[in-house]
Amino acid sequence: MKANEKKQDCPCGRKTAKARPLAYADCCGRYIEHWDEQPAPDAESLMRSRYSAFVQENASYLLATWHASQRPLQLDFEASTKWLGLEIKDFQVTGQDSAEVEFVARY
């Protein structure tokens, strides 16, 4: 992790209880940088971290967290893509090992 990433706002837009942006290192960074040791704890955190990984063009994390039945062989990112924000509309646990996240990702 680069030194400036600790203070950088997380691309996913998650905020503290006081409505301040969370730092990348305290939000999605801990899952993206250590996905094999500290996976995202729930579906919302996974969705947020995958959004952040798309913003950063982190193919390794995206491929590692993509379900095998849907995972592409490789990812190609378009250089002209500008990510504008993520909005979580709803998050529900649907079973012991399942959940649903309704979201809008703007680019």
Q: What is the rounded CA–CA span in Å between residue 88 and residue 70?
A: 22
What's at 76, amino acid-wise? D
Q: Digits of tens for pLDDT over the chain (107 positions)? A: 454 545 899 999 999 999 999 999 999 999 999 999 999 999 999 999 999 999 999 999 999 999 999 999 999 999 999 999 999 999 999 999 899 999 999 99
pTM: 0.89
- The label of the residue with tokens 């994390």 reads 61
> Helices (DSSP H) in the chain: which residue ranges?
29-32, 43-56, 59-64
Say if residue 50 is exposed, middle or buried (CB neighbours under 10 Å; 0-12, 13-18, 19+): buried
What residues pair up with 80 in beta bridges, in sequence order?
Answer: none
What is residue 7's predicted lDDT score, i.e. its pLDDT?
A: 80
What is residue 55's predicted lDDT score, i.e. its pLDDT?
A: 97
What are 42's two structure tokens?
A: 């729930």
